[in-house]
Amino acid sequence: MLLYIHIPFCDSKCSYCAFNSYVDKFHLKELYMEALLEQLKSELKAYDTKENSIETLFIGGGTPSTIEPKLYKPIFKLLENYLQKGCEITSEANPNSATYEWLKGMHTLGVNRISFGVQSFDAKKLKLLNRAHTPQMAKDALLNAKKAGFENLSLDLIYATLGDTKELLQRDIETAFSLPINHISAYALTIEEGTAFASQPQMSSEELELTSWIFQTIEAKGFMQYEISNFGTYHSQHNLGYWNYKDYIGVGAGAVGKRKEQRFYPQSIIEEYIKNPTQLKVESLSLEDTKIEKLFLGMRSCVGVHESVLEADELQRANLLVDEKKLLFQEHIYYNPDYLLADEITLFITS
């Protein structure tokens, strides 16, 4: 069982961001955290959660570092007996709001992994993306996190942005590896509806050759790729849980939960969520839905796809790909050695 907590507050709205986040609702922080606690209590009962059964906790956003540690304290108190001993507890953070005091406070609560939304160490690119931090803030935040006691540190980089060059991306990667990290998430910029970039599709310019070069460059530094966007000497247990299709509780405005073949959606508008945090919209997944999701997730990651997921004709097509050395087959599981082909392979198997 996994647990995800969503914090929808942000200092600024990034030009590419389609997540449920707000820059003008800070006055609702305390009420929101109280509502979040109420929903969490309800979800723990609904999932019939046992002691020591939560394997990982991930606090995402939005920007979790906009909420001071003392407001998280009741949540950690409630979870005390549910969290497995030594479980991975990750919080996302932005360099401009993750002060040393915030980092130390979260570490004291039990958070043992921080994922920083860095995106780039290039000042012009950060401005283009409407990030609220400078390159120096990002470096300082990583060093402060190490000083605060965190051993597991990750940062995000964005590529395929208009103006990206191999030289700029090389500098970003070199700078990242000069810092005390054991994980990198590298995401291609995607243009989504409802974002500032939605009317500027030219802002994204992914080239397969450059993407392959980025992956090879990061791996050459000793960070193994274990999913299309994730690399590290440490592998995020929370991410692996998603890709293994485990059940998860989703708490907060804009979060998503999953139990067996159902998904649960709390209210996404903060004010509505605060009024009724336990009101959920339920979506039922068909067997076909779950099969397709397992295929996409497995082919994009080191998890792979168990043969039991596939039907007879799909097994035939998967075995054809094994013969062509495009898939590996080991101990009843199909593995994809080239994550950039994940979607094409999935579509071929299910066609």
- 70-81 pLDDT, tens digit per residue, is 999 999 999 999
- 138-155 pLDDT, tens digit per residue, is 999 999 999 999 999 999
Q: How confident is the model at residue 164 (pLDDT cuts 50, 70, 90)?
A: confident
The per-residue pLDDT for 26 is: 73
Q: Which CATH architecture has domain 2-243?
A: Alpha-Beta Barrel (3.20)
Which tokens in the block code for residue 19?
A: 């997540």
Query: CA 59, CA 7: separation in Å to the nearest integer?
Result: 7
Query: CA 143, CA 106: separation in Å to the nearest integer?
Result: 15
Average pLDDT on 106-125 reads 96
Residue 254 above 90 pLDDT?
no
The per-residue pLDDT for 197 is: 45
Positions of CATH 3.20.20.70 in the chain = 2-243
Average pLDDT on 241-258 reads 96
Q: Which residues are within 8 A (CB) of 203 and not within 5 positions of it... i.e. 6 or more apart?
A: 15, 16, 128, 161, 162, 189, 191, 197
- 284-309 pLDDT, tens digit per residue, is 999 999 999 999 999 999 999 999 99
Q: How confident is the model at residue 16 (pLDDT cuts 50, 70, 90)?
A: very low
- 58-69 pLDDT, tens digit per residue, is 999 889 999 999
At residue 259, φ and ψ (nearest 5 deg) are: -135, 115
* Residue-level length of the chain: 351
Q: How confident is the model at residue 14 (pLDDT cuts 50, 70, 90)?
A: very low
Query: CA 61, CA 255: separation in Å to the nearest integer?
Result: 9
Nearest Cα neighbor of 23 from 36, 8, 34 is: 8
Residue 8 contacts residue 20 (beta carbons within 8 Å)? yes
Q: Which residue has the tokens 């804009």?
A: 254
- 197-232 pLDDT, tens digit per residue, is 444 555 556 678 899 999 999 999 999 999 999 999
Query: CA 350, CA 315: separation in Å to the nearest integer?
Result: 10
